[in-house]
Amino acid sequence: MPDFSPEELLPHRAPMLLVQGIREADLEHDSIVATARCSRNDLLYNAGINGVYPTASIEIMAQAIGLLSGYADRIHNRPAASMGKLLSVKQFHLHTDALPLDAELLAEARGIMNTPPIGVYECRLLHGKTLLAEAEITVIRED
């Protein structure tokens, strides 16, 4: 699998670039496992919970979807999308009070419906085998 940095595949930059890279991508099955790491320097860090607000998991999972889209564009030599937008979040469940600091998180996304320019993905955010959050996220791609 070719190695691309998130900055090559997404329009996001610090402090809102929350993903670090691609662990696995399977274009045939429209799925990705992306890595992320939270720190005290994050925009959404809260000392009161000694972590990052868990609602940030939505943005981390959405950025994983963006990585998958950008990766597919690169592999298929297509122009990159000018922007992607999150349209809806359904079935959102948090299983933590805070995203842990200085730990590798895995954001998984699997396409369950893709009718360009709209895609629907089942997503999960994990710390090791511990499920932190899950959601069904609908996105739209703007070319």
Question: 72-106: per-residue pLDDT in tens?
Answer: 999 999 998 888 999 999 999 999 999 999 999 99
Using only the alpha carbons of the chain, give its radius of gyration.
14
Where are the chain's structural domains? 6-142
Q: Specify the CATH superfamily of domain 6-142.
A: Hotdog Thioesterase (3.10.129.10)
Average pLDDT over residues 110-117: 95
Question: H helices of the chain, where?
Answer: 6-9, 56-75
Question: 115-138: per-residue pLDDT in tens?
Answer: 999 999 999 999 999 999 999 999
Tokens of 21: 């890279």
Kindly list the distances between the CA atom of residue 2 and the CA atoms of 24, 75, 127, in Å, as whole numbers in the listed order. Answer: 10, 8, 25
* Beta strands at 51-52 and 45-46: parallel, antiparallel or unpaired: antiparallel
Kindly list the distances between the CA atom of residue 59 and the CA atoms of 12, 93, 135, in Å, as whole numbers in the listed order. Answer: 11, 14, 11
